[in-house]
Amino acid sequence: MLLKTCTPSSVLLVCLGNICRSPTAEEIFRQQAAIAGLSIKVDSAGTSDGHVGSAPDERSQRHAKSHGYKINKLVARQVSDDDFRNFDLILAMDAQNLADLQAMKERLEGSEDDLAKLALFSEEDPTYSGDDVPDPYKGDNDDFEEVIERIESSAQAWIESWKAC
């Protein structure tokens, strides 16, 4: 639990392509924050541009829907420099995404002071602390279910940490 922060006004959730993990996390996070009574702007993006403009992966949509999350209207986009200025907190789904985000942020530092804080999505989660949210893209149904379980757990952990602030 390296990053202790009071409730941010905006959170960006980031994976590689923004078609599996981060759009799922966006909707889960949005719903859990609303249930907790927190007013947080939530969005998602990818570190790569390979799926920009695409809807979330159909398997992600199907599994999310079976858990009560609708992600079919989300559209993949790539992380931009402006995201570091417009969000308080950027959460990476895995260590590689976090490293890519750190490199982007370091390029901006010096010219700008007030940039988003970065953290691993599982950082506050006592169950998955420090673990990557595995990319289910090349996996099977169980992999997509595991992603939802991990995202629900870690999103709730962040929200609980802010409520305790």
CATH of the domain at 147: 3.40.50.2300
Domain for residue 35, yes or no? Answer: yes
Residue at 1 is within a domain: no
pLDDT value at residue 5: 54
Q: Is residue 2 part of a domain?
A: no
Residue 23 lies in a domain: yes
Please give the residue range of the domain that contains residue 97: 10-163
Tell me if 4 is assigned to some domain. Answer: no
SS3 readout for the chain: CCCCCCCCCEEEEEECCCCCHHHHHHHHHHHHHHHCCCCCEEEEEECCCCCCCCCCCHHHHHHHHHCCCCCCCCCCCECCHHHHHHCCEEEECCHHHHHHHHHHHHHHECCECCCCEEEECCCCCCCCCCCCCCCCCCCCHHHHHHHHHHHHHHHHHHHHHHHCC
The pLDDT, as a whole number, for residue 3 is: 46
In the chain, the number of structural domains is: 1
Regions of the chain where pLDDT drops below 70? 1-5, 112
Do the domain assignments include residue 53? yes
Q: What pTM, to 2 d.p., does this model score?
A: 0.94
Q: Give the residue numbers annotated as catalytic, written as ranges.
A: 15, 21, 135
